[in-house]
Amino acid sequence: ALALAPPGLRLPAPFRQALLPLPVYLLVAFGCYSLATVGYRLATFNDCEEAAVELQEHISAARTDLRQRGLRF
């Protein structure tokens, strides 16, 4: 059980009623925040097209150069 009344302090009933669902609210709020954040980051996750193209070019250049230098793949 949650201790809502530290010794010596007596909260009036309405406060206690308001405070009781607080953990659940916080959890739900955090859940919504998480979903929104992850969703946003997922949507803005960069796709690097040029990097992929560049990599392919590097691979061909590498294979040609290395073959010239005697590498047997």
Tell whether residue 28 is a contact of another protein (CB under 8 A). Answer: no
For 8, 21, 34, 47, the CA distances from 52, given in Å and listed in that order, are 67, 51, 31, 9
Span from 3-11, 12-20, 21-29, 47-55 in contact with another protein (CB under 8 A): 47-55
Question: Which residue number, 9 or 42, has a Cβ lying nearer to another protein?
Answer: 42
DSSP state of 14: H
- Rounded Cα distance between 26 and 32, Å, is 10
- Rounded Cα distance between 24 and 40, Å, is 24
Q: How far is the CB of 27 from another protein (least distance, A)?
A: 13
Residue numbers at the binding site for another protein (CB under 8 A): 34, 37-38, 41-42, 45-49, 51-52, 54-55, 58-59, 61-63, 65-66, 69-73
